[in-house]
Amino acid sequence: MLGALAVSLFLSWVQVSSETYIVKSSAGEDRAKRVLRELEHFHKLVGTLVFRYTELPELPIEILLIGDEPAMRELEPEYNGRKVAVAGYYQRGTDRDFIVLSAVRFPRR
């Protein structure tokens, strides 16, 4: 039973990427592409001011776009020992950086 659930969850995720970002999404391909596009626009907008003096990670930043509230609650960051409800957060990793975004809390437009 658990194996079938894991396969079902795995098959419901999509991935889109650019040189700068990898978006893995359980909220569908259209949402993943939109988030990737908006992140690339943001990167270009502030890149000339901020990233010019900042060393960017060698590997693309990995974005997890979470499509359901229960899964997002599992991934929420903790502050003072309690989970904090946020629309997204940045996490520096040992070999790559991550951004976790809620597709539920992140507006559709």
- What size, in residues, is the chain? 109
> Given pLDDT bands bounded at 50, 70 and 90, which one contains residue 18?
very high
As a whole number of angstroms, the distance between CA 44 and CA 61 comes to 15
As a whole number of angstroms, the distance between CA 55 and CA 74 comes to 31
> Given pLDDT bands bounded at 50, 70 and 90, which one contains residue 109?
low
pLDDT computed for residue 108 by the predictor: 61
Question: What residues make up the domain containing 66?
Answer: 2-102
Number of domains in the chain: 1
Q: Is residue 41 part of a domain?
A: yes
> Given pLDDT bands bounded at 50, 70 and 90, which one contains residue 105?
confident
**56-78: pLDDT as tens digits:** 667 889 999 998 888 888 889 99
Q: Is residue 90 part of a domain?
A: yes
Q: Is residue 108 part of a domain?
A: no
Q: Is residue 65 part of a domain?
A: yes
pLDDT computed for residue 1 by the predictor: 36
Q: Is residue 54 part of a domain?
A: yes
Strands 97-102 and 61-66: parallel
Q: Which residue, among 82, 91, 37, has the nearest Cα to 61 in the 3D structure?
A: 91
Q: Is residue 109 part of a domain?
A: no
As a whole number of angstroms, the distance between CA 31 and CA 65 comes to 9
